[in-house]
């Protein structure tokens, strides 16, 4: 099957078939060669996680702890598996020790897709602090990162995520913003 994540159509039929935005994101992951997603329950990215789990084209591993997800994904990368950790930004605090050991001590890196809790307009009081600590932790842990505002940007930013990761100089993260989440 051929598809172009940027133009949102499949091209094997005579007439184009327009995909919904969740399918676009899923197909971009496949196009980029993502083999395994390691994730935790995340209400913001739940539709994407469910699509990956049910899609059968990307291996899906669900954990109960961010440190475990980071460890599994980093180990998979050592075997040549193109993996991705999906978690919310509060997970950075939870996995800080594991990430710092891998990134800073052992120079073992991984890729992250992080939903942004605490964005401007956050409706949950407990979510606000996640924003306050996210950028400082990304910088302290030497993780290169970029915000993804909408599904339209995802394909290009996903390519950049893995291009940076493949330099073997740092872990990389895409921070998924509210509009992107609403588009799913």
CATH of the domain at 29: 3.40.50.970
| pLDDT given for residue 2 in this prediction | 36
Average pLDDT value for the chain: 90
| pLDDT given for residue 49 in this prediction | 96
Tell me the pLDDT band of 16, cut-offs 50, 70 and 90: low
The crossing angle, in degrees rounded to 10, of helices 151-165 and 21-31 is 20
Average pLDDT over residues 171-181: 96
Spatial separation of the C-alpha atoms in residues 47 and 50, rounded to whole Å: 5
Across the beta sheet with 17-18, the strand order is 3-4, 9-10, 17-18
Tell me the pLDDT band of 18, cut-offs 50, 70 and 90: low
**pLDDT tens profile 101-150:** 999 999 999 999 999 998 888 888 888 889 899 999 999 999 999 999 99
Q: Is the distance from CB of 51 to CB of 36 less than 8 angstroms?
A: no
The total of structural domains in the chain comes to: 1
Residue ranges making up the domain that contains 41 = 3-183
Burial level of 117, CB count in 10 A (0-12/13-18/19+)? buried
Helix (H) or strand (E) segment spanning residue 112: strand 111-115
In this predicted structure, the answer to whether residue 12 has a pLDDT above a threshold of 90 is: no
In this predicted structure, the answer to whether residue 180 has a pLDDT above a threshold of 80 is: yes
Instruction: Measure Cα distances from 138 to 51, 89, 108, 173 in Å.
Output: 27, 10, 15, 9
């Amino acid at each position: 099957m051929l598809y172009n994540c940027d133009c949102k159509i499949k091209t094997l039929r005579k007439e184009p078939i327009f995909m919904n935005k969740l399918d676009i994101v899923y197909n971009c992951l496949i196009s980029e060669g993502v083999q395994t997603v390691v994730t935790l329950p995340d209400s913001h990215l739940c539709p994407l996680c469910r699509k990956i789990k049910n899609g059968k084209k990307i291996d899906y591993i669900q954990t109960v702890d961010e440190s475990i997800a980071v460890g599994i994904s980093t180990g998979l990368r050592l075997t040549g598996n193109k993996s991705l950790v999906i978690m919310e930004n509060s997970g950075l605090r939870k996995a800080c020790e594991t990430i710092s050991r891998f990134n800073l001590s052992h120079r073992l890196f991984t890729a992250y897709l992080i939903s942004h809790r605490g964005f401007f307009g956050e409706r949950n009081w407990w979510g606000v602090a996640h924003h306050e600590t996210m950028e400082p932790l990304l910088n302290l842990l030497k993780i290169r990162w970029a915000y993804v505002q909408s599904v339209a940007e995802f394909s290009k930013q996903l390519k950049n995520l893995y291009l940076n990761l493949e330099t073997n100089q740092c872990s990389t993260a895409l921070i998924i913003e509210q509009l992107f989440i609403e588009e799913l």
